Structure 1
């Protein structure tokens, strides 16, 4: 009665070690995140490990999930951050903010 094919299709977003985002499609989010972290997930993420899955959205068909993936990939960095922010995920400028604070502190010490 039950089919081996998954009826759940996911669009997901990874936050990469270099502070970039990677969007993808899968039917198994846990397996896919592990593959990316083992260096067999994609060429893009291989050099940007570790990665962390920060967002996933389930769809009823592969077509719907890959459409969401394609739409996300077309967004600017700022738009991607806004997309994630309205869904409760705040990533915006984590590294940049801490670097800015360090620069401000260094400048203040010079004065």
Structure 2
């Protein structure tokens, strides 16, 4: 199953992607073997993750997130953090 994830780059920008193994993908980004966008913005840290998608659905969700404005992404991240602290 695929995961959709958001990374926060060292310059404060966000990168959204999909992966079968998010931990391995994060390590690849931080080693400079990830997306071209993150190579010059390392280190990156995982700030958001949604699990349980097939590839097609993960790609669609990734695009939905990429289409969000930065303020909308910040709200998504805050809502997720609030939900985790309520659990």
Runs of at least 4 residues of structure 1 off by over 6 A?
Answer: none
Number of equivalent positions:
82
Give how far 1:66 is off: 1.2
Separation in 2, partners of 1:25, 1:85: 20
1:21-68 superposed Cα distances (whole Å, 9 cap, x missing partner): 000010001100000000010100000000001111112311111111
- Verify: 1:82 aligned to 2:72, yes or no: no
Residue 16 of structure 1 and its aligned partner are, at CA, apart by 0.4
Distance 1:75 1:60 in 2: 20
Partner of 2:16: helix, strand, or coil? Answer: strand
Q: TM-score, normalised by structure 2?
A: 0.90
Which deviates more from structure 2 when the two are superposed, residues 30-39 or residues 55-64? 55-64
Match of 1:28 in 2: 21
What residue ranges of structure 1 are gaps of 5+ in the alignment?
1-7, 90-111
Structure 2 residues not aligned, in runs of 5+: 83-87
Larger Rg: 1
Give the alignment's Cα RMSD to 1 decimal.
1.1
Bigger share in strand:
2
Query: 2:11 matched to 1:47?
Result: no
Higher relative contact order (CA 8 A, sep 6+): 2
